[in-house]
Structures are given as structure tokens and as C-alpha cells.
Amino acid sequence: MTEQFKTTLIATLHQFLLKRAALFGSFARAKETTDSAIDILRTRKRFHLV
């Protein structure tokens, strides 16, 4: 995984207002191929009304 890929991924995740995200699968193990999917587990931010 290149630094450019990491930067792009982080910027994209920020657009979705994520509280947390975890990369798993082949990308997380640094064994990705051109056919690999990007597997992300996410938690959205909670907004409280006052």
C-alpha cells in the first residue's frame, strides 16, 4: 500500500464523517492484488440534539 493510497483513503473516509474505521483483509495484510477489494469496517459519528 503506497503513501498516496493511504492519504487518499483517509481523505475519503473523512468525507463520510467516520468516528472510526478499520482496514482488514488483504490490504491490511499487505497482500493485495489488482483483484483485491478494499475491506473497511466503519463506525459513524453520533450526533446529539440539544
Residue corresponding to grid cell 483485491: 36
pLDDT, position 35: 93
CA–CA distance, 9 with 1 (Å, rounded to integer): 11
Summarize pLDDT for 5-40 with one digit per residue, the tens.
888 888 888 887 777 788 899 988 989 999 999 898
pLDDT, position 48: 57
* pLDDT-derived band at 45, boundaries 50, 70, 90: low
Report which residue type is found at 19: K
- Output 3 or 43, whichever has higher pLDDT: 3
CA–CA distance, 18 with 44 (Å, rounded to integer): 5
